[in-house]
Structure 1
Amino acid sequence: MRAMTDTQQTTQQQVQWLHIDEDMAGQRIDNFLRTQLKGVPKSMIYRILRKGEVRVNKKRIKPDYKLQAGDEVRVPPVRVAPKTEGPNPNLNIVSQLDSRIVFEDDALIVVNKPAGMAVHGGSGLSFGLIEALRSLRGDDSLELVHRLDRETSGCLLVAKTRGVLRGLNAQLRDKDMKKIYVALVAGEWSKLDRAVKAPLKKQVLQSGERMVRVDGEGKASETRFKIRQRFAEGTLVQASPVTGRTHQIRVHSQAAGHPIAMDDKYGDEAFSHQMQQLGLSRLFLHAETLSFTHPKTQQWLTVSAPLDTELLSVLDKLTKI
């Protein structure tokens, strides 16, 4: 597929006709345009779609239209922000990502994302993990398969090609990808509470902060829990999300009466303070394991990321029961 030149990325003055090949097929037109028109606000992309300025095979399409191999996409003239430089690969936070890669082959990367690092830039952040990884590898084709909260550590899956991304996204959509998280929660989790099924609804506060709450009008959500270890101070649980809602494990833990340690949005202040006294300075939520069918080999693959030293140290200080 023809790529935009640097000049076009700064100011695209002419209509473009882009040919869709097999590797690009299957993705929504709005997502395709966001990839092609980097620097263009989402609002503008949806506006040119709504006004019919974007055409596929000379026909108007809706934002959810899925591209097919052989499609010809008309992209109207738009002003695009100049291409920005990625983070310096020599920065410590960037260079250290190499040591946190727990699996890599010619199709994908699984990195043990550090807590406190956003998965992508924006909202005041000049860069996130994906921009850092692209800079480190000198490869702009790397794409996030899914996301983790900034405060959460653990397995994050990155695709190296559009075809691999499409295959992994299909597994996520069909709930064929399995995720296991580990969390330290307040109180004594009951053996009877094996699953939390509570609909979740997002809201944006006046401050702009994004929050999620249990709401009958929200989206159906389910998380399955299993006790790993009981402590006098709390419970180490395994959480397996069936659905993939924003802040799902954090809100479902809170809804069950067992908020996660050091959760500044949904936590218990007294419990978090107690864990802070033991050396915990971050949310105790870690994406431990990812299991999925490798999009190229078709083999079932399980990849795990070890708990960071800080989390292990806190667990060592707790009293087992």
Structure 2
Amino acid sequence: MNSTQQWQAVTWFEVDEHQLDQRIDNFLFSRLKGVPKSRIYRLIREGQVRINKKRVKAETKLKIGDQIRVAPIRFEQKEEAAPVSDKVAQSLLARVVYEDEGLMVVNKPSGIAVHGGSGVAYGLIEGLRAASGKKYLELIHRIDRDTSGLVMISKKRSVLKTLQDLLREHKIQKTYAAVVKGKVALDKQLIDQPLHRYELPNGERRVRVSKEGKESKTQWNVQERFMHATLVYASPLSGRTHQIRVHGLSIGHPLVGDEKYGHETEYRGPKPRRLCLHAMRLEIPGYPTIEAPMPEDMQSLIAQLRAQKADKVVAPVEDDE
């Protein structure tokens, strides 16, 4: 029996203490040998994967004793993940900005997904595993494919659990640099809008402001205003999909280069090469502050915006009263 034929019947798994708090997608990646990640994501999306008879999402966390049912997997055509080249793997390893015995932090380039699947042959985590040869590397969190910047990766399961707990408790502060359309009026503001995630008919995830959504807050601090855009440092106080992007759209200032949210909003500045969003700083309890410099493409865009004549940095004076 080959690695694909064995999954052509209903498959059951039971979760033990070793898989506690693991995401269902990561669990299935390691169990369904020979099944492409894109197929696994499709199975989850179509309800072919159930936990205790209930539909799940890719990010669903496992509990001890969970009964996982996977429907028969039919292979209409051969799907193979592309191998990670040595050049790509080593270039990703060179982007490690912090590492100790349990944590690795990587400055991800824009345009690469954090993991393979859903039509993506491989991602950051697969590249790092190939380059480092480490048996255990797991994503602690995710950022969008088009977003550049800091991604935390655990080298130990204990670190994974500890830092994910800190994320849930909002004790890790993440700061992003964003170039947004138009001049933002307020120097500082807290955007407090509930966000609801939904899927398009093709399965693509989108997010919108909705009363039915989850509580979501983002702190915006203006750094510099230009004729047609504003440089903002944004700190999400909750961890929702596309949060900064949709919150920007909600106040009339979508991100420059965003093809999903607010692309129809007028913008007369220089043409961007990519989504202008960069995860620039991580402040983790017990660790030094970890930073990633602004990527060259965003620096170039900002230089062009300055050349169009800018209102220089607005640094509000703190009032002691």
| The two structures share one fold, judged by TM-score above 0.5 | yes
Match of 1:109 among 91, 101, 104: 104
The answer to which of 231-240 and 203-212 deviates more is 203-212
Cross-structure match for 1:225: 220
User: 2: CA distance between counterparts of 1:37 and 1:157?
Assistant: 24
Equivalent AA in structure 1 for residue 292 of structure 2: A
**What letter corresponds to residue 46 of structure 1 in structure 2?**
R
Post-superposition Cα deviations, 1:255-293, rounded to whole Å, max 9, x if no partner, equal 1111110111113446556331xxx21010000011113
User: CA offsets, 1:169-192, max 9 Å, x none?
Assistant: 101111111100010111221226
- Report the alpha carbon displacement of residue 94 of structure 1 after superposing the two structures with TM: 2.7
Q: Secondary structure of 1:228's partner?
A: strand
Q: State which drifts further: 30-39 or 252-261.
A: 30-39
Which residue pairs with 1:151 in the alignment?
146
In 2, Cα distance between equivalents of 1:122 and 1:32: 11
Distance 1:93 1:159 in 2: 21
Counterpart-to-counterpart distance in 1, 2:120 and 2:231: 32
Counterpart residue number, 1:58 = none
CA contact (8 A) 1:86 1:135 kept: no
Q: Tell me which of 273, 279, 288 is aligned to 2:280.
A: 288
Consecutive unaligned residues in structure 2, runs of 5 or more: 55-59, 312-321
CA distance in 2, matches of 1:157, 1:97: 14
Deviations 1:129-161 (A, max 9, x none): 111111111224211110111110000010112
1:310 aligns with 2:305: no
Q: 1:79 Cα deviation (Å)?
A: 7.4
Aligned CA distance change for structure 1 residues 77 and 239 (closer, same or farther; 3 Å): closer
Matched, 1:320 2:310: yes
Give 1:46's aligned residue: 50
Equivalence for 1:3: none
1:86 deviates by 6.8
Distance 1:205 1:145 in 2: 27
Between stretches 34-43 and 281-290, larger displacement belongs to: 34-43
In the alignment, which residue of structure 1 is the partner of 2:63? 66
Q: Is the 8 A contact 1:180 1:288 kept in 2?
A: yes
- The answer for unaligned runs of 5 or more in structure 1 is 1-5, 52-62, 294-298
Structure 1 stretches of 4+ with a deviation exceeding 6 A read 6-10, 15-19, 73-86
SS of equivalent to 1:288: strand
Instruction: Report 1:1-321 matches (<5 A).
Output: 11=6, 24=18, 26-27=20-21, 30=24, 33-34=27-28, 36-38=30-32, 39=35, 41-42=43-44, 43-46=47-50, 49-50=52-53, 66-67=63-64, 87-90=83-86, 92-191=87-186, 194-269=189-264, 271-272=266-267, 274-276=269-271, 280-293=272-285, 299-317=286-304, 318=306, 319-321=309-311
Identity %: 35
Q: Which amino acid aligns with 2:270?
A: M
